[in-house]
Every structure is written in C-alpha cells, then in structure tokens.
Amino acid sequence: MLNNNSLVLVTGATGFLGSYIVDSYVRRGIPVRAMARRTSNLQYLQPHLDAGAAELVFGTMTDPDRLIAAVRGVTHIVHVASVIGPNIPNEMYQKVNVDGTRTLVDAAVAEGVQRFTLISSVSTYGDGITPGGIVTEETPQIPSNPYGKSKFAQQEIVFAAHREHGLPVVAIEPPVIYGPRARVGIEEAFKLVKWRLAPMLDYGRGRMNLVYVTDVVGLLEAADATDAAVGERFLAAGPRFATHKEIFQLVAESLGVRPLYFPIPLPLTKIALIINNAILRLLGKDVFLKPDYFYHFTKGADYRTDKATRLLNWLPQVDVREGIPRTVAWFEGN
C-alpha cells in the first residue's frame, strides 16, 4: 500500500487532471515524481516543487530513454499523459498514446512497480454502441475514432502486462471531465455564452455525462486504498445525464447573461461533417469524426458506476448544478 516511503510517477502531471492527481498525493503525504514536457506550464506544480513534496523530471511519451529513466526507483505509476483532438494525425496517436504506453509498461515491469494505474476513457466503448442505453464495464468495447482506438490499445497493453507478468494494474474510464483548470470541453460552452450564443444540438435535447475532476481523483484514491481494484476497469461517470440545454443554462446563470439560444438540427451536423471530412481527405489529413457522430453523441450513454461502488465504495459527489458554477467562477477569475 502507498505510504511516505512510496514514490509515485505521474505522467502528464501539469495537465488538467494530472495536476489534481499530484495535489492528491501531496495532500496524502506521498512523494511524487512529476513528468512533464520542457514547454509545460508549471503553475500548479511549482508550489509542491518548492515545498519538496514533489520532484520534476522532463520527458515526453515519444522519448523512450526519458521514460525508462523516469520509472527508475518509483513504486507506483499513474499514467495520465495522452494526446486528443480532431486535428491530431493518426500517427501521433500511435506514437504517443500507444507506443509510449508500451515503453512505460515495459519499464514498469522491469522495475517491479507495485501498481500501474491507467487513466483511460469511455471512448473505448465507441459512439452509438448503446446510444441512450446502459454502459457498464461488461459492455463490448468497440472504439469508433482514432483517440478511442488508441485508448483501447493502451488498455490492451496494460492488461496484457498484468496477465503475462503479474503487473498490478487498474484502469479508470471517465467521460468528459470538467472543473477549475479545465481547458477543453466546458470552456467552449463558457466562451460561447460569453459571446451571448448558445447553440443547441438537436434543439437542446441532446444529453451527456460530465464528471467533476475531484470525483475522478476520488475514484483513484479509493482504488489506491485496496487490492480489490487490481486487474479491474472502473467507469468514472458523473451522477447523472445533463441535457445540452441545461448545461448552457447553468453557464448562463453563473455568468449572469442571457444568451441567444438557437437550435442546430442533426441533419445539418451530418452535412457539415461530410464536407469537413472531404476537405480533410483532399488535404491528405486523417478523418476524426464519422458523419453520423453527432447523432450518437446527442443520445448519450448511461455510464453506470455500480462496480466502483461495489468494490471501492465510491460514488460521484458533484452534480452539474454545483460543478458548473464552480467551474465558471474559476474561468471568470482566470
């Protein structure tokens, strides 16, 4: 079990979720080795470095020598670092998310690491597998975009090391994470409402599950505390669905503005993606989203956290009615 003689390597330590994970270990009195790129913003990490509660190592997921060096002497690894985005070439997903993870896992096996925790994603289940229906850890994982495929490949690598080499592993699968420090996801809604605009997919009826960042960290802490988590995957969903209209309304109320709500019929999104994908192909770029992506996206998926509750006694605590005002207040102050 973790104690003050442990040493936890956190990849992606200066990112949104990674910075909260570092905060968690420091708060628990557990030494941290934070891995970051040389160009990373150390704003949230610097106080821990100054206090001697964390050490910094520079490296990237595409530099095997740096990764192997970062693993030396650590007892635990929390692997957060990955790339995501519609403009990232498939080759980069392979190099960073897949090949980098394989190097990290191989180093963990060689070092005899006591626990390897992968921050994965619900994208491993794909879009439209059970739209609007229940998703559990038993649902078939059929990823439908390059990011989801790379996260699924990460899981395959990690759990193969568990089966073949006895590496103790855990995977955590969150949907969209939000909260203070977030730079993607809820930020787009924040900017649009600031501009007095509130575009609503499928007339605002679309649903999605958001999970507050401290709830994801809480699941990690619960998994750290027991060997019952080893060899398991856990969905880290928020308490409930929220409609796109509710999300925009909460952002607007928090900002004290009255935006223009305007519907976007789903057929328009299909036309837009067909045109967008045709342009990408002409430019020789990789296609990220299929034309019917938003048809599945707006239906949402009911990610169930029963397994995490049963094995780890974990439940998400922060509803969007509480979390979105906190997040907006942070954006306003930053």
Question: Which residue's entry shows tokens 């985005």?
Answer: 85
Residue 234: which residues within 8 A CB-CB, separation 6 or more?
137, 170, 171, 172, 173, 219, 223, 305, 307, 308, 311, 312, 314
Instruction: Give the C-alpha separation, 198 to 247, whole Å.
Output: 10
pLDDT reported for residue 241: 85
- Residues 134-173 as b/e (b if ≥16 CB within 10 A, e otherwise) read ebebebebebbbbbbbbbbbbbebbbebbeeeebbbbbbb
Q: For residue 22, which phi and psi values (nearest 5 degrees)? A: -60, -45
Q: Is position 203 within any domain?
A: no
The one-digit pLDDT tens for each residue of the chain (334 residues) are 898 899 999 999 999 999 999 999 999 999 999 999 999 999 999 999 999 999 999 999 999 999 999 999 999 999 999 998 777 888 999 999 999 999 999 999 999 999 999 999 999 998 644 455 789 999 999 898 889 999 999 999 999 999 999 999 999 999 999 999 987 767 778 888 989 988 888 887 778 889 999 999 999 999 999 999 999 999 999 998 888 889 999 999 999 999 988 888 888 888 888 888 888 888 888 777 778 777 777 777 789 999 999 999 999 999 999 999 999 999 888 8
Q: Is 137 within 8 Å of 172 (Cβ atoms)?
A: no
Q: Is position 63 within any domain?
A: yes
Q: Are strands 76-79 and 8-11 parallel, antiparallel or unpaired?
A: parallel
Q: Is position 213 within any domain?
A: yes
Element (H, E) at 202: none
Q: Is position 223 within any domain?
A: yes
pLDDT reported for residue 4: 83
Q: Hey, what's the torsion of the CAs at 188, 194, 199, 204, to 10 degrees? A: 90
Cα distance from N-terminal residue to C-terminal residue, the chain: 38
Which of 318, 325, 199, 177 shows the shortest CA–CA distance to 259?
199
pLDDT reported for residue 269: 82
pLDDT reported for residue 129: 46
Q: Is 104 within 8 Å of 77 (Cβ atoms)?
A: yes
Q: Is position 196 within any domain?
A: no
13: helix, coil or strand? Answer: coil
57: helix, coil or strand? Answer: strand
106-146 pLDDT tens trace? 999 999 999 999 999 999 998 644 455 789 999 999 898 88
CA–chain centroid gap for 132, Å, is 21
pLDDT reported for residue 132: 57
At 175, which CATH number? 3.40.50.720
**Helix count (H) and strand count (E) of the chain?**
13, 14
Q: DSSP alpha helices (H): ranges in the chain?
A: 16-27, 46-50, 64-71, 90-92, 100-111, 146-165, 186-194, 213-224, 244-255, 266-282, 293-299, 306-312, 320-333
Report the domain count for the chain. 1
pLDDT reported for residue 131: 52
Tell me the residue range of the domain where 69 lies: 8-184+209-240+302-317
Query: 327: number of CA atoms within 13 Å, CB side?
Result: 32
Q: Are strands 241-243 and 207-212 parallel, antiparallel or unpaired?
A: antiparallel
What are the distances in angstroms from CA 182 to CA 34, 143, 312? 19, 24, 26
Residue 134: which residues within 8 A CB-CB, separation 6 or more?
301, 302, 304
How open is the CA angle 140-142-143, to the nearest 5 degrees?
A: 140
Instruction: Give the C-alpha separation, 63 to 319, whole Å.
Output: 39
Q: Is position 254 within any domain?
A: no
pLDDT reported for residue 282: 87
Q: Is position 180 within any domain?
A: yes
The predicted model scores a pTM of 0.92
Q: Is position 195 within any domain?
A: no
